[in-house]
Structure 1
């Protein structure tokens, strides 16, 4: 079992503040967060494909470009949040691994 780590969740509180979960990563809320992150990343991939098709067609309107820019911005914010959350947990995991390796065997 791993030590509890503070995890930035992929959603905010009703007043827009970041939400964190302190757990070992195996509980229900952690699994829900994993599923939400997976959906956010999949949606971002779908949006990238949509943007590529739109640009390849070269027949876009200013309204389509504006909507695409808004959707891409929202997806980028979500993907950045996932990357920040996962990156922070990697650092914690690396620190814990280093501490375990440095500890003398008993």
Structure 2
């Protein structure tokens, strides 16, 4: 019964762009006309994608600087890891809503990056 229920979740529920305080995924049963929580999730997804673009730009600046030290590299990599995890969660959620098959392998939507 659990496998059957879990296989229905992506078709009925929206994976939200945040997790519980224990790292578990959050889902929303969206109303056909949208709603406040749907609009908030859309805004958070868009912010995650803007953050990813910003982290990528910063990482490129650090990598282009031959004098960049270990701390600058570590900070840029940490920001990129966090942004990539969030962007993958957004991509996974949007893919589910478009009807893409969810293999559950390597999607990263249920994992939080370490050190965040």
TM-score tier (shorter): 0.7 to 0.9
RMSD over aligned CA atoms reads 1.7
TM normalised by structure 2 equals 0.71
Q: Which has the larger radius of gyration?
A: 1
Q: Shift of the alpha carbon at 1:5?
A: 3.3
Name stretches of at least 5 consecutive residues in structure 1 with no aligned partner.
93-106
Does structure 1 residue 35 correspond to structure 2 residue 43?
Answer: yes
Bigger helix share: 1
How many pairs were matched up?
Answer: 89
Give, in angstroms, the shift of residue 57 of structure 1.
Answer: 2.1
Which contiguous aligned blocks of 4+ residues in structure 1 show a shift greater than 2 angstroms?
Answer: none
TM-score by length of 1: 0.77
Offset at residue 25 of structure 1 (A): 6.3
Instruction: Give the structure with the larger strand fraction.
Output: 1
1:81 is matched with which residue? Answer: 89
